[in-house]
Structure 1
Amino acid sequence: MRRFLPLLLLTVVMLVGGPVPPAGAHPMSTSAVLLDIGADRVEGEIQLPVDRLAIAVHRDLTAGSVLGADKAFLMSYVTQHVSASGADGTPWTVGLGTPAVRTIDATAHLVYPLTIHPPAGEDVTDFRLRYDVIVEELLTHQVIATVRHDFDRGILKTDDAETLGVFDWDTHTLKVPAGEGSWLRGLTATAALGMRHVGEGADHLLFLLMLLVPAPLAAAGGRWRTGDSSPRRSVLRVLHVVSAFALGHSLTLALAACGVIDLPSRPVETLIGLSIAVSAVHALRPLVARGEVLIAAGFGLVHGLAFASLIGELGLDRGSLVTTLLGFNLGIELTQLLVVALVMPSLLVLARTAVYPAFRIGLALVGLVFSVSWMLERSTLTSSDPFESAQTWLVGHPLLVAATVAATAAAARVLAPTGTAARG
């Protein structure tokens, strides 16, 4: 009897799961359902490995046949095995879009766009998703259900994606908590994204810093001087710079997010490098009276376009656009104010010392070099940025940078104070 046991086990496996697939074809035996929760609908996609789908429907499927001879059959099959209903049991409408074949984890997958609608006039709330594609035939298969976007619960990007659960031989229904969360949670999440984007963006931070450097000074005769610039006037100038930048980027951010403006990302990123170069030159020698305010407003328009492209890339425009713009902008402004709070007191102290001209010129030259390198790379004139590692390190250690500037200001105040005008 023992010698027939392996044959018996093989026969059982064949009867339950069909033909044994080649080793390594799809070792995890999983597929996926991805959901994007909106206010009035749920969108997403169904990913079906072609080899496992072939076993489940008892057909010889290929990447070509699933979009050809077997297309209508498979559409009917999948439609029959996916349904949704509200918490009260009311059926919701489930629709499948035009399928495509995509390679995922080195395996061909048949991918269907998915749309789920609650009854007409109702918003999306908690609902139950019933799904048994493949798993109703294949004992070893599992389907991972994931929410990849839900604004009201702060699920905005890939890193936030939440696994709802797993459909398998025993589990064919999962609850989708689409009614949880609130606009405040979405606002907070988008604000955090805005803070992170500016906090990790060396170009945006350097542009702001180049505008802050001459703020404690006054332009006279084509040079920077400290003699006739009081601390109060310096603070007001900083507020004007920050406000002008906020106004500029808020305007184009809103217009681009609404689809009024649509520019390719490469020219926009190159112009951001140019904005830093212009502000660095202005920090060396004043280009025009109150030029930092004009530069902040003018090039702020360009930076707003870059912020808008991020909203599109992350799919944030699928949530409430007004709340998204408000939250993202709030995060940007909070980060700007934090940078001002960390750096500006030290700059005000340094500006009253004999060290500031050298400090200002040195910092402006660094900004000019970085900006030229960015422009060359982003316009594809060079293949890489040789200063990327230094920029990454500086952005990754903001408190250390601020502490270094503060220590420099304290030492200069003691060792090199001056009451005379600082020229440059």
Structure 2
Amino acid sequence: MRIAGLIAYAIIAFLVLPASPAAAHPMSTTAILLDTGPDRVTGVVELPIDRLEVALDEPLTATTVLQPAKLEDLRRYVLAHTSAGSWAVALTGGRVRKVDSVDHLVFDLTLTPPNGRTSNFPLTYDAILHTIVSHQVFVAARSGGQGDYTTIGILDWREHTVAVPVAAAAASTGTGFVAALRLGVRHISEGSDHLLFLIMLLLPAPLLARRRRWVPGGDLRRQSVRVLHVVSAFAVGHSITLALAALGYLAVPARPVEAAIALSVLVSAVHAIRPLVPGGEAWIAAGFGLMHGFAFAALISDLGLTHGSLVTNLLGFNLGIELTQLIVVALVMPSLLILARTRAYPWIRLGSAGTGLVLAAAWFAERTTLISTNPLNGVADQLVEHPFVLAALLAGAAGTASAVPRVRAGRTAGAVGRLVLPRLRQGR
């Protein structure tokens, strides 16, 4: 059992290893919006100034980025991180506009083919991405500057190139659906706060709440049902607000939403340590799932999509989220179910929940502006970069713990003898 405990501590230690400076804050994203034409492709690049500040490690504001010398430096920086195969790339202009209450620096982009006639081409872009692993870049296109923007790809720290289908004049609905599905998968798999919220709710799923404490209990069927309730409740909660917000029926500023998401992780971590609502993990998941839905909607609501294409993107995005959640459950839950029957699990649960509590508190302080810089951003990046390593460590702890008998036979016989023999002698 000590070996399992050591592996569990290794998991926690792995989480707090120092990482390169980056940000777990998912609120600000870059968007590249393209208009395809017969002889060139034009568009805009919208960069969040707060992420530029972190990526370049220098103070930037909506005022300073427009100073001529600084604007030229930033233009050269973005241009150096943008290419389109053999096409000529030009970046001009420079202005600031708010996107979901966040200041963005906007440049005009012109892409010119070498033969004077547009065709499919690869767009490569890694500004900000080369430093902030949790950042994402949306690439969307439309034909001739009219109609809907359709998401054709999402760039991240692993993927810097997307194929732009100019020959088809615009991405098809099917392509948009696939891109939205990939976006849902990536946003959950790379969104450390969303992942941590789910994991915190899964930690007590194999247990029962008795006298304000978590104790082992319930057979495999009941434990599986509790897990299903948690995942389904979160899906229902975020689906409701995702649809309402993306369709324009509800609007909540981004910063309060992100603060509420950090609070949801904090509450779920406390609940994993000590039951706040005994048996109420599904209610917690549903309630805070409503707030997570607003954050999901912010990712796809600023692309100028009409009702039809937005519905398609919503379906794909939601499916991507649910598939990723099921993968997380499949990777984590078997190990938790095994460990929950061992003496090591209280330490694993408390250590993991304590780590989540600290991370959530730091996020909440940053997102409510109590602190200007989150010193634990690197910790969150470890979650983003090494999920399968963590799952493997957890599986190793489960395998080690399951190989050790909970109570050895000799000790059981001795314990029974010490309890029963004195009573038999007294009976004589």
Smaller-chain TM-score range? 0.5 to 0.7
Q: Which residue of 2 aligns with 1:210?
A: 200
1:415 CA drift (Å): 2.9
Q: Provide the identity percentage.
A: 50
CA distance in 2, matches of 1:36, 1:226: 60
Length-normalised TM-score, structure 2: 0.60
1:150 CA drift (Å): 3.8
Unaligned segments of structure 2, at least 5 residues: 1-32, 46-70, 77-89, 95-109, 124-138, 143-148, 409-428
410-419 or 277-286, larger mean C-alpha shift: 410-419
SS of equivalent to 1:219:
strand
Task: Give deviations 1:243-285, integer Å, cap 9, x for gaps.
Answer: 0000000000000001111111111000001001110111111
1:407 CA drift (Å): 0.5
Residue 380 and residue 346 in structure 1: after superposition, are their counterparts in 2 closer, same or farther (change >3 A)?
A: same
CA distance in 2, matches of 1:330, 1:223: 36
Number of aligned residues:
291
Residue 206 and residue 308 in structure 1: after superposition, are their counterparts in 2 closer, same or farther (change >3 A)?
A: same
Unaligned segments of structure 1, at least 5 residues: 1-32, 38-42, 48-101, 112-132, 165-174, 420-424
Q: Which residue of 1 aligns with 2:169?
A: 178
1:161 CA drift (Å): 5.8
Q: Which residue of 1 aligns with 2:335?
A: 346
Out of 382, 385, 393, the residue aligned to residue 374 of structure 2 is 385
1:398 CA drift (Å): 1.0
Determine which structure has more spread, i.e. the larger CA radius of gyration. 1
CA distance in 2, matches of 1:214, 1:206: 14
Q: Which residue of 1 aligns with 2:324?
A: 335
CA contact (8 A) 1:157 1:314 kept: no
CA distance in 2, matches of 1:352, 1:108: 60
282-291 or 149-158, larger mean C-alpha shift: 149-158
Task: Give deviations 1:200-251, integer Å, cap 9, x for gaps.
Answer: 0100000000000000011112111113x11110000000000000000000
User: Cα RMSD between the aligned structures?
Assistant: 3.6
Q: Which residue of 2 aligns with 1:219?
A: 209
SS of equivalent to 1:198:
helix
Amino acid at match of 2:367: R
Q: Which residue of 2 aligns with 1:149?
A: 140
Q: Which residue of 1 aligns with 2:365?
A: 376
CA contact (8 A) 1:198 1:332 kept: yes
CA distance in 1, matches of 2:271, 2:116: 61
CA distance in 2, matches of 1:312, 1:160: 23
CA contact (8 A) 1:203 1:273 kept: yes
Residue 249 and residue 374 in structure 1: after superposition, are their counterparts in 2 closer, same or farther (change >3 A)?
A: same
Residue 142 and residue 328 in structure 1: after superposition, are their counterparts in 2 closer, same or farther (change >3 A)?
A: same
CA distance in 2, matches of 1:307, 1:191: 12
CA distance in 1, matches of 2:91, 2:324: 44
Residue 418 and residue 237 in structure 1: after superposition, are their counterparts in 2 closer, same or farther (change >3 A)?
A: farther
Q: Which residue of 2 aligns with 1:232?
A: 221
Residue 331 and residue 315 in structure 1: after superposition, are their counterparts in 2 closer, same or farther (change >3 A)?
A: farther
Out of 291, 311, 321, the residue aligned to residue 322 of structure 1 is 311
Task: Give deviations 1:152-175, integer Å, cap 9, x for gaps.
Answer: 9862457666568xxxxxxxxxx8
Q: Which residue of 1 aligns with 2:271?
A: 282
SS of equivalent to 1:279:
helix
CA distance in 2, matches of 1:153, 1:313: 11
